[in-house]
Amino acid sequence: MKFFKRPPIKLILFVFFLFFIGVSFFISYTPGIKIGYNFKDFLLQMLMILPPVFILIGLFDVWVKRDTIIKHLGKDGGMMSYLWVFILAAPMAGGLLPSFPIAYALHQKGARLSVVLTFLGAVGVGRVPMVFFESLFLGWRFSVIRILTSIPLVIVSGIVLGKILEKHGYELPKKS
């Protein structure tokens, strides 16, 4: 008779990781100490970014009607769907990580898979804070050329990848 379930491998690896960092601090192992500080910095950044994102996703889920998403980002949205997701992606803060829950919420509300994939690409290349930062260091001409080149490439890759995945019957996991 089993009294204890075997812990999942991810938990074992995480405990080992924390143990490694602790031992590194104890024996002054520099690479382990750097890993520990990087982990702490990343964790604090995510703890500052993710709660507001989840609050906004909750508000989005309640305030934005499914019919609105289907109308503008669904099968009948046409090419304007891609413009809408670039507008939605432009003010995003925090990089690509917070955009995944938003992309999932869009898909659950009826957005096409190709539009969701384009949204993720748009967050990666077209966020206004990133473009401003880039233009300070590389110049506004570079930023304009990069954006004008990236937009069609992101849209085409979103459409192609969406069609390939839909052809193979891919579906995002449902809420549990």
Query: Domain-by-domain residue ranges, the chain?
Result: 1-49, 64-167
H or E element at residue 39: helix 30-63
**Does residue 130 or residue 176 have the better pLDDT?**
130
Q: Are 85 and 73 in contact (CB under 8 A)?
A: yes
pTM assigned to the model:
0.72
Q: DSSP character for 74?
A: S
Mean pLDDT for 88-114 is 84
Q: ∠ CA 38-44-45 to the nearest 5 degrees?
A: 90
Q: What is the pLDDT of residue 2?
A: 62
**Does residue 91 or residue 141 have the better pLDDT?**
141
Residue 63 scores a pLDDT above 80: yes
Mean pLDDT for 51-61 is 82
Fill in the amino acid letter for 41.
D
Q: Are 134 and 141 in contact (CB under 8 A)?
A: no
Residue 40 binned pLDDT confidence (cut-offs 50, 70, 90): very high
